[in-house]
Structure 1
């Protein structure tokens, strides 16, 4: 089997390139390729992975041309340069490295806070100019001041810790921050309006989303305490720069420090050339340590995925560790088979998918198992569907997906049951993984059985009457179809019955017609599985 091929189209460290090589990846290091979209477009079809920083733009056009691409790895946090929707539809995992530059970005925010508090850049420029304007640059202390942190996640949490070390009072606005966690961090959890009204300094540490865009709008800036100083080292677009410039000119805001801007590269901003405004060119992650850390991290993450299936820090797929991948591998395969069965036997538009996880299965990574089920169902419509693209496709089609977990309720240590709902009916199938690691179907339409899963299978439904087994065996034999495994089940004597056969080769059209001509079967369906 050929080694996976990875293209590095931006500048990454030699150590990161070596990680790919040491892991057996065929790596192509072209650090300037990402700047030329036409060259990138021509090259991208040949690669399984693309490692980038911010210079490469993974646009929809690039992604559509990337016919073999499985993963895009961004060395850094921001993924604004990647069309994540297009990648998800194409089944391409998008990874970033959220932890490699946390310390560096948090330290930059603290440094910017010091700089604006003591007007250090202006004082430095004045002194370099041969002036000695000691009385002009009157600053404020940080000790005892209130810092309002908008977003108390990874980076925001570090800022909170450093600020407490500076003896600042810290309050945080974060909808996902619990009271217990806030107490553990030593911060006061508040709503946004309370933070705006009381903070002497405000620092932002949230991603740019529909919910956070212009979170410091003109209206919210007006709610801030007079004399506040605002720091943004997170993402451009979180603050209305025009409104902030007006507040700075009026004196309502005493100062601002910005590392990120609504439009980058920022060559013209309303904040430029205003007194006591510190601006840096997106330097949050610009330290030697951080650049090395994120490069090494993205190389490890991409290698893990391409070689073992382990998923870390993916933005469009549940993370699965290498250890989880080993344990969950058979269960992910089972989930895919269950979905694939439901998709192949169903002939009507699906409106809902309900998944029950029982016992051992309920303790696993349910997002990954759910994605595998949906992917299996969607393969009938699109064979290229995978665990990344399937949830997107289901959502686009308006299919409602629900999951339930329960303690062990039967004779199996755990099982997964999938029910698909259409306008006319519901159809369910359940399966488990035996101790040998092999998935089995254990229930179809409420009828218990124990069926081994093979590449080629035949599924039939019928009334429970004599002659079914003989008819199946004789007809398939006459058409040179060899039966590897034969499983039967029924709801009750002389009631509904099913048969599931694992055969060595695909059942031919003439064989299917011959079975139908017997008049014994209500449904006859050939099935195919990737085993």
Structure 2
């Protein structure tokens, strides 16, 4: 079977090779594909084609995807956590070093000089850019996931004292964090103690405006804020006031808005933190692997709207179901199978919020009976999407 994939935003072609020979990329069926692979494409005003089963975001953030709308349509949304983590880490470390020495302003000033005596002008004016070293300074890292944990470890290696805050840190990330990083239980400890603060959390209702007037009021004067996560984590009105009063020495962000541009003590980068050749390739590879695994086996890895699901496909047929998370649904699924006299080889059901995903492996080779079962599932009010996958037997 050949699957159709539509891509957006110039996905790395080498990474797309991970899809394999059974995938047609941007071909004749791209108006009604099985899957999307995207980067920054905004899908909020897009009508999803009926055949669309999966969307893979080649990156970590999924704010450009209407998750609820996709879930209701039975579309599994994937992201690629960690694929660009090293790129963002390096960008943040660079931002810390540049801000400590004010390299950006220094370079801009040097490029305004004219005349045969430029060397003398430089020597006379360079004192205004005398900075500080980062060794011995305190860095607060909010969010200790794939990116934050790397920043914490590398900042410690260049001599910084690192505080880390993340009440939801995963076991995998925790294992990778140096024991020298000071884990704090209250974000206020970050605000009160750190010379530099960098944030690496998703944008949610709880994290929006993490940096607000109350947060800035707890900080010491001369704090540098670095935001390579999401624009709305910072309340700009409160930020401007904190800069005016000297609480914030510099704000460095990868998310530009008109009100932030050409402001003293604010440095705006054009969303390039994760934009390296290596990161784009890694994201494309991971997104392609996720789509291939899902389309060929029904297994799910790194979905943001459905649980991770892994079960080796050894039965003649596999049916996957996206269903509403209602009482007795598993029992009803099992009953439907028994009514067509089919034996269940394996069944796996997990829920996430109001929806659930079921992998149903069937010890049956009679395609007529399988088709009858698929029809029964498709007629159910609580089952949103049904997929039939043929095994190797």
Structure-to-structure mapping, 1:279-290, within 5 angstroms: 279-290=268-279
Structure 2: 5+ residue runs without aligned partners? 114-120, 322-327, 339-345, 377-387
Aligned to 1:128: 111
Q: Does 1:186 align with 2:169?
A: no
Deviations 1:334-359 (A, max 9, x none): 998633256899xxxxxxxxxxxxxx
Pick one of 224, 232, 235 that aligns with 2:227: 232
Structure 1: 5+ residue runs without aligned partners? 31-42, 346-360, 372-387, 395-431, 440-453, 458-501, 507-529
Aligned to 1:82: 65
Tell me the number of residue pairs that the alignment of Structure 1 and Structure 2 aligns.
Answer: 349
- How far residue 223 of structure 1 moved from its aligned partner, in angstroms, is 0.8
Aligned to 1:320: 309
CA distance in 2, matches of 1:171, 1:198: 9
Aligned to 1:62: 47
Aligned to 2:385: none
Structure-to-structure mapping, 1:75-154, within 5 angstroms: 75-130=58-113, 132=122, 133-154=125-146
Structure-to-structure mapping, 1:3-402, within 5 angstroms: 3-20=2-19, 22-28=20-26, 46-54=32-40, 56-59=41-44, 61-63=46-48, 66-130=49-113, 132=122, 133-177=125-169, 184-190=178-184, 191-261=186-256, 266=257, 268-269=258-259, 271-321=260-310, 324-326=311-313, 338-341=331-334, 369-371=349-351, 392=354
CA distance in 2, matches of 1:333, 1:87: 17
- How far residue 326 of structure 1 moved from its aligned partner, in angstroms, is 2.6
Moved more, 195-204 or 306-315: 306-315
Aligned to 1:348: none
SS in 2 for 1:237: helix
SS in 1 for 2:249: strand
- State the superposition RMSD in angstroms: 3.7
The verdict on how the C-alpha distance between 1:315 and 1:329 changes in structure 2, with shifts beyond 3 A counting, is: farther
SS in 2 for 1:256: strand
CA distance in 2, matches of 1:276, 1:4: 51
Larger Rg: 1
Deviations 1:273-297 (A, max 9, x none): 2333221011111111111111122
CA distance in 1, matches of 2:287, 2:302: 9
SS in 2 for 1:6: strand
- How far residue 311 of structure 1 moved from its aligned partner, in angstroms, is 1.6
CA distance in 2, matches of 1:53, 1:177: 25
CA contact (8 A) 2:53 2:75 kept: yes
TM-score, normalisation: structure 1: 0.59
Deviations 1:75-134 (A, max 9, x none): 111211111100000000111111210000111111111111111111001111125221
The verdict on how the C-alpha distance between 1:143 and 1:343 changes in structure 2, with shifts beyond 3 A counting, is: same
